[in-house]
Amino acid sequence: MPNFHPISTDRYANKRWRRVAGYSFAAHEAIVPLTAGEFPRALLSLPIAFVEQNETFIPVAVLGVATGRNLFVTPDGRWAGKYIPAAIRSYPFCLANRNEGQQVLCIDEDSGLIGDGSEGEPFFDDAGGPSSVIQEVLNFLTQIENSRQVTVNACAVLKKHALIKAWPITVKTQTGDQPVGGLFQIDEAVLNQLSAEALREVAQAGALVIAYCQLLSMQQLPVLGELAEAHASAAAHAAAHAPASAAGQELTLDYLNKNETLSFSGLR
């Protein structure tokens, strides 16, 4: 589990942090939250679903078919896809709520990315204020939070009009059909039968875009099977050629992401 701690001058004035160069930290995330601002790009490469949490629904990117296994992270820590969810791009930072309702920028102290030397990015500038890069991080996380609030409200409207139903998934892999439970999808039949008044409410909440994006993203489901097969092939190759070379452990996928460095470049 991450060990997030608020960033303060008392604790971090003389420290620096390094950008993440790979995605191994997300290798055990089978699902990650998405916000409404991410849907238009995410649907082009990731299956999108909903999960139920505290009697509400939350949209997520489906990254694996088994708990604790992210198929989009290759054995050598690269990302095998065209879109990286903002929740992953924001690591090792997050916004946390204080008791008084304020939000504070935090960093995972167990990330291995914080140091006392000259390597990396400073937390603060010479005047004691946030460095330009930390301000960039804060702006990015604020954008995520604003989009999250819109998403929460939109999902509440989707639930109000019974537009979310269970989505039993079966992914075809080399080892057979793999069932995936606990996911939900848009009920297209109910959506098509909404009254004009209900449809207007759904559209005004921004929920109509979310609904259609989720439905369109379902065509990406076979990607999970392809990735599962690629992981199995890489593991078999490594076992047959032990000790395996680094090249022998790589996933060879046409859509492998060539950008190996996380950047705080906005939700879209």
Residue 265 has pLDDT above 60, yes or no: no
Please report whether residue 119 resides in a domain. yes
Residue 258 has pLDDT above 60, yes or no: no
So what's the pLDDT on residue 117? Answer: 83
So what's the pLDDT on residue 214? Answer: 98
Domain membership of residue 225 as a residue range: 4-239
Please report whether residue 250 resides in a domain. no
So what's the pLDDT on residue 135? Answer: 96
Q: What is the pLDDT of residues 116-132, one digit of tens each?
A: 988 899 999 999 999 99
Please report whether residue 246 resides in a domain. no
So what's the pLDDT on residue 10? Answer: 92
Kindly state the DSSP code that residue 73 receives in the 8-state scheme.
Answer: B
Helix residue spans in 161-266 (DSSP H): 188-192, 196-204, 207-217, 221-240
Please report whether residue 267 resides in a domain. no
| Tokens encoding 154 | 């939109």
* Percent of the chain residues past pLDDT 90, beyond the cut: 68
Q: Is the sign of the CA dihedral 147, 151, 153, 157 positive or negative?
A: positive
Residue 29 has pLDDT above 50, yes or no: yes
Residue 249 has pLDDT above 50, yes or no: no
Q: Greater confidence, 258 or 167?
A: 167
Q: How many distinct structural domains can be found in the chain?
A: 1
Q: Greater confidence, 261 or 150?
A: 150
Please report whether residue 8 resides in a domain. yes
Distance CA 16, CA 22 (A): 18
Please report whether residue 71 resides in a domain. yes
CB half-sphere exposure, 72, CA atoms < 13 A: 28
Least confident window among 38-42, 117-121, 229-233: 229-233
Residue-averaged pLDDT of the chain? 88
Which of 144, 145, 139, 190 is closest to 164 using CA atoms? 190
So what's the pLDDT on residue 48? Answer: 97
Residue 188 amino acid letter: E
Please report whether residue 268 resides in a domain. no
CA-based R_g, the chain, Å: 20
Helix (H) or strand (E) holding 220: none
So what's the pLDDT on residue 262? Answer: 41
Residue 63 has pLDDT above 70, yes or no: yes
So what's the pLDDT on residue 47? Answer: 96
* Percent of the chain residues past pLDDT 70, beyond the cut: 88
So what's the pLDDT on residue 264? Answer: 53
Q: What is the pLDDT of residues 169-214, one digit of tens each?
A: 877 766 667 777 899 999 999 999 999 999 999 999 999 999 999 9
- Residue 257: CB atoms within 10 A of its CB come to 17
* Section 86-107 average pLDDT: 90
Please report whether residue 244 resides in a domain. no
Helix (H, G, I), strand (E, B) or coil at 195: coil
